[in-house]
Amino acid sequence: MQTTLVILKPSAVQRNLVGQVIARFERKGLQIVGIKMVHLTESILEEHYSHLRDKPIFRRIADSMMVCPVIVMAIRGLEAVDVVRNLTGPTNGRYASPGTIRGDLSNSVQENIVHASDSLETANIELNRFFNKNEIFNYEQLSFANIYAVDEV
């Protein structure tokens, strides 16, 4: 099982889409093992988007991400990184396929509802950035017996 990070961005919070987005992950069979609301700061955004910090778009990203609190989630499942990325769709909502979160709920490259870790390595770094060890829970998800084959888990 993998655990990955998802951030429900201010565009999701401001548009009252939090429940709808969370429901999509749950309907897919993913397990929420950590969730909290946080207000992002300039310093955490500089760390989180360090690969963009020196680019002109960083200011737009930072300003957007600090509009209001966000929801950060640790989500677990078989190949969770790829499953979550497939559910979210490509970054630009205008090009995301219908049926994906961004394809159904976004029409923007920035106000695109969610951030999702792009690899297992990135997920581990990002989870450690936003969660303390005692904020991510290990518990038996009883529905996994109906979601995965016996030899998958």
Q: Are 7 and 69 in contact (CB under 8 A)?
A: no
Q: Residue 4 is inside which H or E element, if any?
A: strand 2-8
- The residues facing 8 across adjacent strands are 71, 114
Scored b (16 or more CB within 10 A) or e, 89-114 reads bebebeebeeebbbbbbbeeebbbbb
- Considering 39, 48, 51, 115, which one is annotated as catalytic? 115
Q: Are 5 and 117 in contact (CB under 8 A)?
A: yes
Active site residue 115: yes
Catalytic annotation, residues = 115
